[in-house]
Structures are given as structure tokens and as C-alpha cells.
Structure 1
């Protein structure tokens, strides 16, 4: 009997296409928009050569040689250099054709025309050169044999820390947006939960009125309906994940089963959240849907969907709320799976998600049990 009720409810849910749109098609569309917005993200972070001018006062010019050797990367030099007179350098700076110019001498002088990132890089280069020159001068007066070694060491750029995740890959800072979007897709299961409660409450819909006079145990019917809603919601989320992973090439890491577990629990949390709101808010279904979607969007906003900085501000100033916000729990769980070797924080997040879900279930149960009507 319960199996038959379950399959019949599945057919009803698939016919309600607006809920399927919000749980599957909307996240797919939004993830595609994200991919377009982030397509040139890495390229935008690459530095271009900085136009500067040199006014030589010494021969040979060591700072000029250092500037020619300076690089952003193996393929990109740091500076594009023009060797001119001081008068020409001033004119180029006034016309905005160069970022700054350097006058060589016993102590090189730097002249810049602003305070942007390029000017900051140029000033840092000159300051570093002057400091290194002083160190070489001191070493030369004390231990001349060590001068060449000091020069060689100063030309090296050593990285002591590498940013990698458990897969050995460099961090992708756009992933937080996709993880927050996936948590939004999971929580949009609230729409299914609202529909299921509406359809068994005699005072909330015509279907509910008919069901309440039918010889079917209400709890049994509720379990079948919620089970069917969770099934459809999980399928919708899996469609969204498949699109992100296979079409947009979003990396969810190597722990696929745990990603699936996270999305299943997140979907259950979303459905029960909607059921809880519908059972306690005495308004029509459209009003409850609007309230629920607004709350879900707000929770997603706090978990970094629009701006990751908001997520970290909430975690710093209201840490307790981060542990009861379902959207943040889903986002962080996916984040931990991708970046962290240890699963300790991941399991803690899942436990918090289960506890939050149980609270939603308990409120729904006590709000709907033994409901009787004088007339329907």
C-alpha cells in the first residue's frame, strides 16, 4: 500500500513543473552564467609589463640590469624599459606613457605619477634593490668572498608555502560560488515540502480536504509524500551536479560518494524546511512559497553565494549561526571535501545538518499531528 502511494505521489510531483524548475533548471542556468562571468578570471589576475623609463647616471648600471631581469613569471618580464634623458622622462610621465622613471646614481631615485598597483610594484622593486645593495656593500667590507653568493641568492625567488588541496591542485577561488549555488539547489527542495504539507492539510487545499476524509492513515501518507518529494529533489540536484561537472568542468574533488551524501542530506534538509514552514505559517501556498524562497536566498547570501566575504564575516562574528545555517553547512561540507585531507570538520558539519533537519521534522510532526476540523 505504501509503495503504491509513493509511486502515485512521484507522478503528481513530476507534473508540478515549477518546483522542478527551481531545483534543477534554475541552478543550471545560474551556474552557466557564473561560468561566463568567471571565464577570464584567471587571465584578469595576470600582470602585464609595466612601462618605465631609466635615466642613467652610472656606467655600468646595476639597477638597470636588475630591472631587465625582473619577471612576473617565466614568460612575462616585469618592466618594459625606455632609456631616455631626465627631461624626456618627465614628459613621458606627464603624458601618462610611463608609470614612473628611475634616475640611477649612488642611491637611485624614483619618480611616479600615481599610487596604483603598478606604482606600488615599481616602488617595491626599487626599495628591494636599495636594501640588497646595502647588504652587498656591508658583506663586501667584511667578507668579500661571500659577495657573489649573496648576489646569486638575492636573484632567487623562493616559495616556502604552496597552496594546494588534498588532490594536489592549486586553489580555485571561484569554487565557493558553485558550492553555494549547489546548496541553494538543495534548499530549493523547500518548495516540494510546502506542496506536500498543503496536500494533506484539510484547511490548506482542496486535495487536503479530500484526503482527510479518505480511510488512509495521515502519518503513513505524510511519509510517502515526503519520501517522494525527497526522491525528486535529489534527482534534480544530481542533474545540476552532472551539468556542472561534465559541461562546465567544475571540480568536486575525488570523494564522489561523500559529495553525493552531502547533497542527499542537504536535499532532505531543504524539503523538511519547506514542510516545517508550511505547517506553522497560516497563509496561502503562494505566500508561504514567497517567504520560503526569500529565506533560502538570504541564507545562501550569508553562505557566500553573492560575495564570499559575507560568509567569512558571519563565521567570525556570529559563529553559532554558521553552524545552524543549512546553506552554510552544505557549502562548507563541499569545501572541506575538496580542500582538506582530514574529514573531521566534514563529519561535524554533517552532524549539525542532521540535527537541524531533525528539528524541522519535529516541528512539522507536532504542528500536523492529530489535526481535526469542524468542517472542511
Structure 2
């Protein structure tokens, strides 16, 4: 059995076609993805938005708004400045701790609204901020900027994200300012209470940045994971060859192996283990390239990703064993299936662009059973489970699904091989 394992391993290493599909093809496609999608995530980063700031009479009467916009522009302001002013909007400074706010605004001063609109016209600003008579802040965008940021497919994704964040913070400022003014109008004595201003600050600071996933989501990771699912299924070619070359009616080598003293079961086991080893190593190389060269995250769980490759390659070899055991099917046809099946199933795991991604999501929502029985989708889910879930439970569940598939494939292959008989050799 050991000799058969070694000889099968050598034969697999000489199989240039299999090595191409398992090593060269994933690396080439991953490089292509990295070149095409490498800057996709940068389109969703928050960057400072060039805005004009109307510094008129209303602006001079609103020190809280000045401190707020100054903080959004990256200007650190002492936390006690507003308290000394005695203005009702002073609570905003204590509430937001401006020195730690990320820079959202690239401010350009303007003496009036007409000056701000002139900045919009010459393209130096995409909008402007102004303060009304009640001390509330308003944001206005130029028509061209609003169209670029607010369309169905916005061309200025960074600006759209910045506007969404800035609009949310301005809304918080205005609501808190209005609430404080109403409370002070009804209870003027509260202005002298430190506890009151502290409670306002705690309310305004109630929003906190939280992560709903194990790590920050990556916009391109899904394509690379789908690529690993496709490459994994192509690994079944090793098992197909191992089973085919053990059948007397498909190759001269199969005739010699049939009359050999080593039993068919041991021959098939040796071929299966050799194929599993080759496919596992090949996919690990592809995984390492994707992780460290293409910089696709795995959530700091690289050992679990290697275990995922082992489970996925085992399933692929089990599927190859079943296909290789199909009677009266030529070896060339079976080898062709090693490309046809992965390419077809990868359509439903999201490999072929946004349409395929939407189709995969639709199947997962409306026909989860189809997603469950799709090996390519389950291999893709393995890496999703590693990256996004805090617990290993979803990952273990997906491993269980793939091992169950493997058991079904191996049982079907063993049943077909057991029934094969030859009248003569």
C-alpha cells in the first residue's frame, strides 16, 4: 500500500494539467482580482469633504456651532470654552469631546451665503455649512455633488459616506441643542447645575462605534473565497485519476492493478490519500498567496483556514471518487467534469461578478436548501465563518456539512465500485 501511495503521489506531481488548475490558475486569477478590486474598499473610506463655512452674524452668535464645525475640521478645542460663554449651545462641546473626532470637513471660510455659492460654482467646495438664527447647523450640497453622491450608482462613494456621517452628526447636534434650549427655557436654574451639563454630554455621546463582525468587513474578500471554492472542486481530478486507473476496463494500468496481489480497497485508499495530500498542499499554497500577497484578511485565524482547506480538499477527493467510479464513462469525459462542475457551481457561489453575488444571496434567502447542497458555496462559507463570526460554531457546522457530503460521495462511489465485474481482462 505504501508503494502504491508513493507512486500515485509521484504521478500526481507529474500531472501538469492538474497542477495548473490547482496552483497556477488560482494564483493568476487571484492576481487579476487583486488588480481589479484592490481599490474597491477605499471607495468606502471616510474622507474629509471640502465645504464652505458661512461665517456671518449667526455664526458669531453660535460658539457651540463654531466648536462643533471646528472639531469636524480637525481643530482641537478646549472642553471648557463653551462653558465660559454661557450660551445654551455650550453643551455640544462637552457632549462630543471634539479633540477625538475624525476629520470630516475640509473647511473654507466664506463671509456670506453668496460667497459660499461662489465656492460651489468654481468647484473649490462641494457644499456649504451655515448656522440659522436659532443656532442650528444646516448642510447644503451643490447639484453636481448631490447627483454624484446620491445616485443609484454613485460615482463619488467617498463623498456619499462622508455626507452620511456628517449629516448624522449634525442631526445629533441640532436635536441636542433644541432639547437643551427647551429645558433651559422651562427650568432656568438647570444652567447652574454641573450634573445637568454632564447628563447632556452623556446623552449626546450615547452613540458608540461597534463591530457586528469578528473583523472589519472587506469588500473584495468574497470574490477570493469563491475562487477558493472553485479551486477546491477542481482538486477532485486527482481522485478521479486514482479510481480510473484502478479499473481494468478503462486503462492498461487498471488491468495490471486488477491482477496485482494488493486488494482494490487498499489501492483506492492509497490513491485517495495521495490525492488528498496533493490537493491540500496545492490549495494551501493558493490560500497563502491570497492571504499574504493579495492581503485578503482571515480575521487572524490562519490555522483555522488551513483546517478549512483540509476539510474542503477531503470533500473534493470524495466527490472525485464518486465521479471516477461511474461505470462506462471514459476517463477523458470524467476529467472534463473536473472543470465543468466547478465552473457551473461557482456561478451560484458568487464568483462571476455582482450578478453572481446577487444570485447567490437570492438563493441563500429564498432557496437555502440549494445553497446547502452546493459544495462550492459551502467551501466559500467556510472562510466566511472564519472571518466574520466571533464564535467557531458556524465554522464547525459548515465543516460538518462538508464531511456529510464526503460521506455520501464516498458511499456512492464504493457502491458503484463494488458492483463492477469483468468477464475478461
**TM-score higher than 0.5 here?**
yes
* Equivalent residue number for residue 12 of structure 1: 11
Larger displacement relative to structure 2 (58-67 or 233-242):
58-67
* Equivalent residue number for residue 100 of structure 1: 127
* Equivalent residue number for residue 297 of structure 1: 343
* Equivalent residue number for residue 414 of structure 2: 365
1:155-194 to structure 2, matched below 5 A, reads 156=205, 158-159=207-208, 161-163=210-212, 165=214, 170-194=216-240
* Equivalent residue number for residue 66 of structure 1: 68
Q: Deviations over 1:242-272 (max 9, x none)?
A: 4445545555456555443332221121122
Q: Deviations over 1:137-182 (max 9, x none)?
A: 20221234357547745774741633462xxx54545444443333
TM-score by length of 2: 0.73
State the Cα distance separating 1:11 from its structure 2 match: 1.7
Larger displacement relative to structure 2 (24-33 or 209-218):
209-218
CA contact (8 A) 2:298 2:305 kept: yes
Q: Do structure 1's residue 277 and structure 2's residue 277 form an aligned pair?
A: no
1:68-217 to structure 2, matched below 5 A, reads 68-70=70-72, 74=101, 76-106=103-133, 111-112=140-141, 113=143, 114-115=146-147, 116=149, 117=160, 124=168, 126-144=170-188, 145-146=190-191, 148-149=197-198, 152=201, 156=205, 158-159=207-208, 161-163=210-212, 165=214, 170-212=216-258, 217=263
Q: Secondary structure at the match of 1:81?
A: strand
State the Cα distance separating 1:360 from its structure 2 match: 0.9
Larger displacement relative to structure 2 (94-103 or 22-31):
94-103
Counting matched residue pairs gives 372
Query: Against the structure 1 CA distance between its residues 109 and 224, is the aligned structure 2 distance closer, same or farther, given a 3 Å change threshold?
Result: closer
Q: Do structure 1's residue 22 and structure 2's residue 26 form an aligned pair?
A: no
TM-score by length of 1: 0.81
Larger displacement relative to structure 2 (280-289 or 340-349):
280-289
State the Cα distance separating 1:200 from its structure 2 match: 2.6
Q: Deviations over 1:255-295 (max 9, x none)?
A: 55544333222112112212323433855444433333232
Q: Which runs of 5+ in 1 are unaligned?
A: none
1:251-330 to structure 2, matched below 5 A, reads 251-252=297-298, 258-280=304-326, 283-305=329-351, 306=353, 310-330=359-379
Q: Secondary structure at the match of 2:5?
A: helix
Q: Which runs of 5+ in 2 are unaligned?
A: 75-99, 150-159
Q: Secondary structure at the match of 1:80?
A: strand
* Equivalent residue number for residue 46 of structure 1: 45
Query: Against the structure 1 CA distance between its residues 164 and 199, is the aligned structure 2 distance closer, same or farther, given a 3 Å change threshold?
Result: same
* Equivalent residue number for residue 278 of structure 2: 232
Q: Deviations over 1:59-87 (max 9, x none)?
A: 51534543232258756242423314333
Q: Deviations over 1:230-252 (max 9, x none)?
A: 22112222333344455455554
Query: Against the structure 1 CA distance between its residues 110 and 255, is the aligned structure 2 distance closer, same or farther, given a 3 Å change threshold?
Result: closer
Q: Secondary structure at the match of 1:76?
A: coil
Query: Against the structure 1 CA distance between its residues 245 and 122, is the aligned structure 2 distance closer, same or farther, given a 3 Å change threshold?
Result: closer
**In structure 2, how many angstroms separate the alpha carbons of the residues matched to 1:38 and 1:157?**
36
Query: Against the structure 1 CA distance between its residues 220 and 105, is the aligned structure 2 distance closer, same or farther, given a 3 Å change threshold?
Result: closer
